[in-house]
Amino acid sequence: SLEESSRLVDSYDDDVDIPVAEWIPDRESRPEEEPDAPNPSTALLAAGFVASLVSTLALSRLVLEVAPMPTALAAVQCAAAAAMVLIVRAFVASPNESTTAGQCVHFASVPLALVCCILASSELAASAGLNARVLVAALSPVAVSVADRFLVGDQPSARGAVALAVVLAGGVYACYATFAWTKVAATWSAATFAVQTYELVWVKMVMERVHMSVWARVFVTNFVAAALLAAVVRSSPEYGRYTAVQHALASLPDARAGAVIGASCVSWLLLSLAGFKLRDQLSATSFALVTALSFFAFALLPLVLPILARPSDLGLPQQLVLGASAIVALIYTPVRKHAPKLDPNDEVDRAVKEANRMIAEADELVAAAGGQ
């Protein structure tokens, strides 16, 4: 109003700095949502992420049975996802979307963490099977919650703590007894656990500091990861199996082989989109819980689709334990929007711009009032 603008100008003194702090949001006094208030859109997005991850794992299992080249398959999926992003954005471009080279450089640690997770998970699956992967997925949320507490300042709510305990107890009970405790399996389990925990925490921290659109994040991550994975394949024993894989794929009907590989690439793209969007809305701990529940669901999938059953999978008693744990954890997992930590530098910049805008408006109003 004119009275407010006049009062603002009257209080202005050229020799006194503008109290910028008045325009800086106080993080301590910001209104926050109820800690366990469910958010329907976030829950729907989480369900889409779980479905994408389960379908990607299932389709990849079918491909790897014929072509045992997990790193090469991941490289193909990443490259296809990056290409599909370019195609989609060529037809559906956002005029306000811009990504700088500096943002891409600062975001480069994300695809590097993803590549490390893919390599460690591939070795773990080859040396220990699905039960070890589920066990690592059950242990990771607890480690992520500890890292969240000390690095970010977040701590799980009461419901979140129940979900963590249920996932941990169910995963350990179901998989520990059937785990093949060889030296190689134990080594890759520890490596996968460390890399996955680091990836879950670090990617969330990078996303809060490097502001990019979801499409840009998906493209940069998959493009860089495809290049790194291709370099790994070229220098790994998988490259020597290329000819044998060609013959194996040639023995299949072209439609079936192409459809399964193509479906896995589309599923990987959907997983990337849903994953980055979900990370924006959840804390690292909640996202780790959703990831663990996805592996629980994949372990239960052979009960619904017997074609995916393998001798190395969990037995029926273990699957029942995982199913019960997943249901209880699903009820208590805090699927809610997570208020991101604001960058103080960005806050100051926005506050200064807001202060200058308000002063300019006040000057214009006072000048107009004086003219009248």
Q: What is the pLDDT tens value at each position of the chain, 372 positions in all?
A: 555 555 554 554 444 444 444 444 444 444 444 444 556 788 889 899 999 999 999 998 888 887 778 888 899 999 999 999 999 887 776 656 677 888 888 899 999 999 999 999 988 888 887 788 888 888 999 999 998 888 776 777 777 888 888 888 888 887 776 666 778 888 888 999 999 999 999 999 999 888 888 999 999 999 999 999 999 988 877 666 555 555 555 555 455 667 888 899 999 999 999 999 999 888 888 899 999 999 988 888 888 887 777 766 777 777 788 888 888 887 777 665 454 444 444 555 566 567 667 777 777 777 777 655
Alpha helices in the chain (DSSP H): 2-10, 40-66, 70-91, 101-106, 109-128, 130-147, 158-176, 183-209, 214-234, 242-250, 254-281, 284-304, 316-332, 344-371
Residue 325: both structure tokens together: 């744990």
- Pick from 200, 194, 75, 225: nearest CA to 217: 225
What pLDDT is recorded for position 161? 84
Distance CA 211, CA 99 (A): 9
Give this prediction's pTM: 0.74
What phi, psi does 185 have (nearest 5°)? -65, -45
Residue 2 CA to its chain's centroid (Å) = 48
What pLDDT is recorded for position 15? 47
What phi, psi does 33 have (nearest 5°)? -70, 160
- Pick from 30, 24, 96, 9: nearest CA to 354: 24
Tens-place pLDDT, residues 135-163: 888 899 999 999 888 877 677 777 788 88
- Pick from 244, 242, 246: nearest CA to 254: 246
